Structure 1
Amino acid sequence: MLPPAPERIVGADGRPVLGRHAGILRGCDWERLAPPLARSALWRRLHHKRWHYVALASEGMFCAVAIVDLGWMTTCFAYAFERGDGDMLANFSQDGLPGRLSATLAADARGTSTFARRGVSIDLGPSGLSLRSPWLEIDASFGTAPAPALVAAALVDGGAVHATQKTGGLPLEGEVRTWRGEFALHGGTASIDYSNGLLARQTAWRWASAHGGGIGFNLQAGYFGANENALWLDGGLFPLGPARFIHAAADPMEPWRVFTEDDCLDLVFTPVAARHENRNLRIAASRYVQPLGTFSGWVRSTPDAPQRMVSHLAGVTEQHFARW
C-alpha cells in the first residue's frame, strides 16, 4: 500500500517530497524550492504548466472537460459523446488570455479552477463541475471516492519537478444538455486529473485512463515515467510498473494494446471517436489526439494475485507532443 501524502509537496527545507502517495496533493509552492531546483521568477513563469481535467462516464454519455494554464496563455476544451448512438454531440476549445484574465487554476488539488471567456464559463472543483457554452451545458456533482487518490511527484528532465493527483471512481450525479436534449449522469463515475509542474520546453507523453464498476487505472509513458501509474480495485489503490503502449501512431483509431511491465495489467483499447488538435504557433506547438472508447482484458493488484477480467470499461487514451 502507498504511504500517506505529505502535508505539503514542497517541504520546509525547500525539497519536494518525491514518489507515489495516497491522499490529497497540497502545497505546490514551486517558488519555495531550494537549490538546485530553485529557478528565477521568469524561468518559472515560462515553464510552469497546470491543468485540471475531468472525465464523466455514464451509461449513455462520456464527457471530458479541461482547463489549462500554460503561463503565457490559457485554454479550455470540452466534448460530449453519446455512447448509444456513437455521436459526438459537442466538441469545442476556447483560448484565453494569460494568468487570471480568463482562467484561474487551483493552487493545488483542493481548489476550484475556473475559465470564463466569449460565452464559455467553467467551474471545476473536487465536488463538482459547472459548464456553460453555446454548444454544451453540464451540471455535475461528485460523491466520495471509494478509494484514496494517487498523489505523485518526480523530477523532470529539462524542467524541475512535476506533481499530480489522480482521483477515480467518484459517484456521479447531474445532467448534460446538448442540442439533442438532456442526458442524466446518475449512476456514472467521474475521474479527475489535477497536474502542476515546472516542465521542459518540449514534453511528450502517452496516457490511458478509465474508471467504473469498482475498477480504475491511470497509466502514462513519457516525461513522467511510471510515477502516476496506478490501479484502483475494490476500494484499494495499488502502484503499477512502467506502461507500454502498442498502437499505430499514424492512425490512433486502430486498437491499442496497453500493458504494464509488472504483469498487473493487460488491456486492449477499442476507440470509437476522438478529439484531435494540431496547432503550430511558431513559438509553441501542440499535436494532440485523445481517442475515447472502451478497454477489455484483465488487471490485478499484484503479480501473484488472481486476474480480474475487464469488459468494455469506458475511458480514453492520449498521444500528445507539446512545445511550450
Structure 2
Amino acid sequence: MNGIADLPAALPPAPARVVGADGQPALGRFAGALQGCDWERLARPHARSGLWRRLHNKRWHYVALATERIFCAVAIVDLGWMSSCFGYAFDRGDGDMLANFSEDGLPGRLSVAVADGPGGTSRFRRRATHIEIGPEALTLRCPWLQIEARFGPAPAPPLLATGLIRGGSVHATQKSGGLPLTGEVRTWREEYRLDGGVASCDLSNGLLARETAWRWASAHALDVGFNLQAGYFGACENAVWLDGALYPLGPARFIVDRKDVLAPWHIFTEDDCLDLIFTPDAARRENRDLKIAASRYVQPLGTFSGWVRGTPEQPKRTIERLAGVTEDHFARW
C-alpha cells in the first residue's frame, strides 16, 4: 500500500463501508465519502481485542479556513484514553498570531465525540471551550477566539484513503478539496469576514501503532489543491485536486531543516506531478512528555509556490502563494 506504481488517472468510487461483510478492509484510494469504520467488525488478520482497539484507536477532525487576510485551523482529537483540541488564528497581512490555544479533555464522550463520517458532527466541550464541526459548518467558542464558519458544497469529490499500518492494524482518512467558505472570525483585535475564502477538512480514524510519525502538507483553492503525507501512511493519502477532478499522487519527499522549520521547505512527489517550495510565515508548536505518552509537533503555516499536475502527461499548473500548512509530528500514544 505504501509504494505506488503505474498510478491510474482516476480513482474508483468509495465503498459503502470500510470493513466489508467478510470482515476484511477495503484498501486503497477512492473518490467519495467515508461511511464509517466499524473496526470491531474486522476479521483476521486485522482483528484486535476490544481493549487493544480502545488504546490504539486514534481519531481526529481538522478544519482549515483561509482568506487573503486570515488563516485559521481547528482540530478535535480523541486518543481513546484522553481527548484534546486546538485552534489558532493568524493575520496574514501583518504576521500576527491572534490566538493560539489547546485544551485537554476527558476520555470518550465525557468531552469529545469525533464523527464516524463526513455526514456526522464532531464536538468538544470542556470548561469554557465549545467546538462543533458539522458537515457544512464550524462553530467555536472559547475565551481566546470565536468562529462561525459555513462551507460547501464541494466542487470536487473528497479523497477516501485506507491502508494497513505497521505496528497497528488499519487506518482510514477522508480529505476534502477546497470548499467555498463564508462566516466570521472574532478575535481580541477585530472581526474578520470569511466570505470568499476556502475551507478544507480532514477526518481520520485508525488503529495506529504505539509510536507514529509523519510529515504532512495541505493547501487548497477552489480549482486546485493537494494533500501529501510521508510517514506512517506512506503515499496512501497523496492526491491533487484540479478543476473538479481528483488524481492520486506518488510518494512525497519533504526536504526541511528541522533546526529551523521556518526556513523554506522543498516538497515534491516521485511521479513528477508536484514540485513546490513552502515558505512559512509562523508556526504552532507543542512538545509534551507525559511519560506514558509524548508528542513533538510543529505545524508551520504559510504559502506554497511551484507547480502541480494530475498525471506526468498533463501540462504543469503553476501555483503562486497558495495558503496552507505543513506538519512534522511524532507521537507516542
- For residues 11 and 109 of structure 1, the distance between their equivalents in structure 2, rounded to whole angstroms, comes to 19
Moved more, 104-113 or 37-46: 104-113
What secondary structure, in the 3-state scheme, does the structure 1 residue paired with 2:74 have?
strand
**One-letter amino acid matched to 2:157:** P
Q: TM-score, normalised by structure 1?
A: 0.99
1:157 aligns with 2:174: no
Could you report, residue by residue, the CA deviation over 1:45-99 in whole angstroms, capped at 9, with x for unpaired residues?
0100000000000111100000000000000000000111110000000000000
Aligned partner (choices 228, 233, 241) of residue 232 of structure 1: 241
What secondary structure, in the 3-state scheme, does the structure 2 residue paired with 1:168 have?
coil
Aligned partner (choices 118, 141, 145) of residue 136 of structure 1: 145
- For residues 205 and 135 of structure 2, the distance between their equivalents in structure 1, rounded to whole angstroms, comes to 16
1:24 aligns with 2:33: yes
CA positional deviation for 1:110: 2.0
CA positional deviation for 1:213: 4.4
- Aligned partners of 2:180 and 2:222 also within 8 Å: no
4+ runs deviating over 6 angstroms: none
- For residues 168 and 182 of structure 1, the distance between their equivalents in structure 2, rounded to whole angstroms, comes to 26
Aligned to 2:84: 75
Unaligned runs of 5+ in 2: 1-9
- For residues 203 and 111 of structure 1, the distance between their equivalents in structure 2, rounded to whole angstroms, comes to 26
1:210 aligns with 2:226: no
- Aligned partners of 1:108 and 1:196 also within 8 Å: no
- For residues 10 and 103 of structure 1, the distance between their equivalents in structure 2, rounded to whole angstroms, comes to 24
- Aligned partners of 2:19 and 2:39 also within 8 Å: yes
Aligned to 1:62: 71
- For residues 232 and 125 of structure 1, the distance between their equivalents in structure 2, rounded to whole angstroms, comes to 22
Aligned to 2:176: 167
CA positional deviation for 1:126: 1.6
1:257 aligns with 2:301: no
- Aligned partners of 2:214 and 2:328 also within 8 Å: yes
1:178 aligns with 2:183: no
What secondary structure, in the 3-state scheme, does the structure 1 residue paired with 2:37 have?
coil
**One-letter amino acid matched to 2:319:** V
Could you report, residue by residue, the CA deviation over 1:110-168 in whole angstroms, capped at 9, with x for unpaired residues?
21100000100000022010000000000000121111000000000000000000002
What secondary structure, in the 3-state scheme, does the structure 2 residue paired with 1:45 have?
helix
What secondary structure, in the 3-state scheme, does the structure 2 residue paired with 1:309 have?
strand
1:284 aligns with 2:288: no
Aligned partner (choices 108, 116, 123) of residue 117 of structure 2: 108
Q: TM-score, normalised by structure 2?
A: 0.97
**One-letter amino acid matched to 1:237:** L
Q: What is the RMSD computed on CA atoms of the aligned residues?
A: 0.6
1:89 aligns with 2:106: no
CA positional deviation for 1:240: 0.3
Identity %: 72
What secondary structure, in the 3-state scheme, does the structure 2 residue paired with 1:46 have?
helix
Unaligned runs of 5+ in 1: none
Aligned partner (choices 16, 25, 39) of residue 7 of structure 1: 16
Aligned to 2:312: 303
- For residues 182 and 143 of structure 2, the distance between their equivalents in structure 1, rounded to whole angstroms, comes to 22
What secondary structure, in the 3-state scheme, does the structure 1 residue paired with 2:119 have?
coil
**One-letter amino acid matched to 1:70:** L
What secondary structure, in the 3-state scheme, does the structure 2 residue paired with 1:28 have?
coil
